[in-house]
């Protein structure tokens, strides 16, 4: 390959030595450079090539010179490549481009042409092997696409925001549109976009919880947020403090998950539990003066509270004189159940109502004695029928004068 002659001046032997030094320097550079240097004739035959071509394609330099360079071009790139070099040979302006060349192992290298000059009918070109860069970019694209598929499948929105003043959001995943109806740019453009759409009843607590990031390094909270369709969605928001970039404010990284469906399921379950609890403590009026509450199943602390509340409300509404608590269907009588029954009876008596306890089976009587429960102030009967008969007889008596 030709090189520029600096035309050294001086005595002939000095000029010759200087020229030899330049030639050796250029030869060493031509051998060692990682750039792809080539000199080709108008037919595309390689006249001289840097050793980097052999390292890049795996063919020897003689093997490469044996064919026009287009022989190694990827079939899909060949037409464009020939057209481009034909245009350049005709004096056209060089525009950098990339095409693929076959390696000896059958794979292809991506070659980016960076420079082209024509001197006395010969083309001098410089190119770079950008295969590693393109492979890295392709791997990055694949990784990004995989992440997007995972985000869409999981429904989780990822985000990052700066802890600088105003806490502007610096990143939010693209699936935020699918989840909440807004474009990612909306959150980046307006620092208050997210905060302003938190439900008014949840805003103060949510923003206060966010302050934990600067103190504890992490926080999580559930709150309601305004979807673009006008409805509020329940959000599980979890974030953690990250490392600050050099010279910049720290960032927090977090995730948002729409838990509206879960919240609605929890509310339905709670409503059903409340309904079942109310059904498990029914008040049955026998007459205007007598109420019966049959208890069935297990009596825990919550149900014991419901028994007392329901019974006292029923007494207040109906102004009865007798209440019968029937425990025939209660499988286990322990200290908790006995205490709940006694407290309920005492509360009813404070309202001026007589209380009878029915359904005292032999095993229940034995348990109450073992527990040393004082039931001296409480009327007890073996069956509900006996208790009702007693209450009706008492209710039928004329009031004492």
Max CA separation in the chain (angstroms): 153
Neighbours of 283 (CB within 10 A): 17
**pLDDT score of 275:** 65
Contact yes or no for 278/311 (Cβ under 8 A): no
Query: What is the structure's pLDDT at 336?
Result: 80
**Adjacency order of strands within the sheet including 46-49:** 46-49, 36-40, 122-129, 108-119, 97-102
Least confident of 244-248, 305-309, 380-384: 244-248
pLDDT (mean) for 287-291: 90
pLDDT at 52: 94
Share of the chain above pLDDT 90, in %: 40
Under 8 Å between Cβ of 316 and 279? no
- Under the banding of pLDDT at 50, 70 and 90, the label for residue 322 is very high
Q: Is 242 helix (H, G, I), strand (E, B) or coil?
A: coil
pLDDT category of residue 279 using cuts at 50, 70 and 90 = low
What does the pLDDT look like over 301-321, one tens digit per residue? Answer: 777 888 888 889 888 888 889
The rounded distance, in Å, linking the Cα atoms of 81 and 113 is 11
Task: Using DSSP, state whether 183 is helix, strand or coil.
Answer: coil
Give the helix ranges, DSSP H, for 58-130.
Answer: 61-65, 75-89
pLDDT of residue 268: 82
The residue count for the chain: 401
Degrees (nearest 5) of the Cα angle 355, 357, 360? 170
Predicted pLDDT of residue 75: 96
Residue by residue, what is the 3-state secondary structure of 22-51?
HHHHHHHHHHHCCCEEEEECCCCEEEEECC
Q: pLDDT at position 1, please?
A: 45
CA distance 338 to 393: 27
Say what the pLDDT of residue 299 is: 78
Domains, the chain, ordered by start: 33-129 (3.30.450.20), 137-264 (3.30.450.20), 280-396 (3.30.750.24)
Q: What is residue 188's predicted lDDT score, i.e. its pLDDT?
A: 92
Averaged over 9-28, what is the pLDDT?
73
pLDDT digit string, tens, across residues 79-137:
999 999 888 888 888 899 999 999 999 999 999 999 999 998 899 999 999 999 999 99
Distance CA 110, CA 99 (A): 6
Per mean pLDDT, which range of 93-102, 178-187, 244-253 is the poorest? 244-253
Q: Which of 76-90, 155-169, 272-286 is predicted most confidently?
A: 76-90
Confidence of residue 2 (pLDDT cuts 50, 70, 90): very low
pLDDT band at 51 (very low <50, low <70, confident <90, very high): very high
Examine the pLDDT at 379 and tell me if it is beyond 50: yes
Instruction: Read off the tokens for 64.
Output: 């490469």
Task: Rounding to the nearest 10 degrees, give the CA dihedral for residues 102, 104, 64, 91.
Answer: 10
Q: What is the pLDDT of residues 336-352, one digit of tens each?
A: 888 888 888 889 989 99
**What is the Cα 215 distance to its own chain's centre?**
23
- Please report the pLDDT score of residue 11 as a whole number: 73
Is residue 57 pLDDT above 50, yes or no? yes
- Mean pLDDT throughout 198-207? 90
Write the DSSP assignment of 250-275 as a string of letters: -EEEEEEEE-HHHHHHHHHHHHHHHH
């Amino acid at each position: 390959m030709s090189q520029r002659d600096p035309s050294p001046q001086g005595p002939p032997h000095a000029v010759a030595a200087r020229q030899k030094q330049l030639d050796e320097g250029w030869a060493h550079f031509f051998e060692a450079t990682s750039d792809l240097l080539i000199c080709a004739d108008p037919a595309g035959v390689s006249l001289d090539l840097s050793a980097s071509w052999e390292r890049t394609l795996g063919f020897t330099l003689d093997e490469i010179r044996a064919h026009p360079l287009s022989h190694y071009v990827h079939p899909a790139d060949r037409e464009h490549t020939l057209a481009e070099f034909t245009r350049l040979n005709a004096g056209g302006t060089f525009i950098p481009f990339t095409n693929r060349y076959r390696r000896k192992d059958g794979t292809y290298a991506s070659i980016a042409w960076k420079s082209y000059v024509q001197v006395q009918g010969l083309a001098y070109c410089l190119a770079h092997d950008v295969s590693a860069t393109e492979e890295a970019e392709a791997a990055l694209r694949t990784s990004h696409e995989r992440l997007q598929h995972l985000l869409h499948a999981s429904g989780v929105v990822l985000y990052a925001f700066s802890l600088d003043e105003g806490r502007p959001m610096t990143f939010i995943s693209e699936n935020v549109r699918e989840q909440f109806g807004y474009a990612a740019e909306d959150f980046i453009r307006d620092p208050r976009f997210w905060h302003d759409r938190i439900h008014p009843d949840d805003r103060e607590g949510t923003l206060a919880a966010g302050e934990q990031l600067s103190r504890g390094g992490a926080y999580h909270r559930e709150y309601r947020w305004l979807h673009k369709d006008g409805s509020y969605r329940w959000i599980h928001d979890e974030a953690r403090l990250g490392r600050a970039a050099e010279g910049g404010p720290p960032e927090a990284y977090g995730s948002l998950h729409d838990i509206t469906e879960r919240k609605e399921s929890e509310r339905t379950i709670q409503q059903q539990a409340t309904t079942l609890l109310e059904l498990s403590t029914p008040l049955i009026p026998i007459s205007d003066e007598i109420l019966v509450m049959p208890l069935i199943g297990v009596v825990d602390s919550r149900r014991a509270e419901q028994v007392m509340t329901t019974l006292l409300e029923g007494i207040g509404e109906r102004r009865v004189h007798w209440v019968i608590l029937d425990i025939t269907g209660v499988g286990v009588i322990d200290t908790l159940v006995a205490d709940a029954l006694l407290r309920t009876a005492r509360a009813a008596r404070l309202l001026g109502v007589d209380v009878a306890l029915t359904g005292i089976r032999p095993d229940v009587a034995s348990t109450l004695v073992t527990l040393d429960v004082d039931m001296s102030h409480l009327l007890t009967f073996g069956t509900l029928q006996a208790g009702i008969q007693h209450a009706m007889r008492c209710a039928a008596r004329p009031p004492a004068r």
